[in-house]
């Protein structure tokens, strides 16, 4: 299975994960300071800013885009509970 590196800039940790892993799962395990709530695209707590490799994440769904808009998210931000890793990325809490 293909593996990719996801780097949490805030804690200086890089985790090698299988394709399709959701950011929030890794963040929680590695103790990155990315908060989350519902994990269901509802609360918008899990906002992250992608510093590198935005295009290496799964395309956001219409629902995610709507929530990002409501959270006044800057471009390059994603919900950690929705975005799935499909290549190397570096991110930090938004």
Partner 1 sequence: MNKPVWLSERVQWIGAFDPDMRSFDVILKTPNGTTYNAYLVRGSEGVAVIDTVKAECADQFFARLEAVCTYAEITTIVLNHLEPDHTGALPELMRRAPQARLYISQSAQLMLKALLNRRDLDFTAVSTGDNVSLGDRNLRFLHTPYLHWPDTQCTYLEEECILFSGDVFGCHFCDERLFNDKVGDFRFAFEYYYARIMRPFREHVMKALTLIDPLPINMIAPTHGPILRDQPTRYLQRYRELSGQRLHKELNAGEKTLIIFYISAYGSTTRMAQAIRDGAEQVAGVRVSLYDMEGGDADLFIDLVEDADGILIGSPTINGDAAKPLWDLLSAFSMVNVRGKLAGAFGSYGWSGEAVQMLEGRMRGLKMRVPLDGVRVKLIPSAEELELCVQHGRTVGEHLTGSNAPRVIDMADLLASRQPEVESNATLTRE
Q: Which of residues 32-61 bind ligand FES (CB under 6 A)?
A: 36-39, 41-46
Exposed/middle/buried for 80, CB within 10 Å: 0-12, 13-18, 19+? buried
Q: Which residues bind to partner 1, rule: CB under 8 A?
A: 5, 11-18, 21, 26, 28-33, 35-36, 42-45, 67, 70-72, 93
**Cβ contacts of residue 21 below 8 Å, gap of 6+?**
6, 84, 85
> Residue 90's binding partner, choosing from partner 1, ligand FES, none, with beta-carbon cut-off 5 to 8 A by kind?
none
Count of residues touching ligand FES (by CB under 6 A): 12
* Sign of torsion over alpha carbons 46, 5, 29, 90: negative
Q: Which residues pair with 5 in a beta bridge?
A: 16
Does 91 participate in binding ligand FES (rule CB under 6 A)?
no
Binding site for ligand FES (CB under 6 A): 36-39, 41-46, 79, 81
């Amino acid at each position: 299975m293909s593996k990719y590196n996801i780097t949490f800039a805030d804690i200086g940790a890089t985790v090698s994960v299988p394709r399709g892993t959701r950011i929030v799962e890794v963040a929680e395990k590695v103790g990155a300071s990315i908060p989350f709530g519902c994990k269901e695209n509802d609360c918008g707590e899990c906002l992250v800013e992608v510093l590198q490799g935005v295009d290496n994440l799964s395309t956001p769904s219409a629902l995610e885009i709507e929530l990002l808009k409501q959270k006044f998210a800057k471009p390059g931000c994603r919900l950690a509970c929705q975005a799935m890793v499909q290549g190397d990325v570096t991110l930090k809490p938004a």
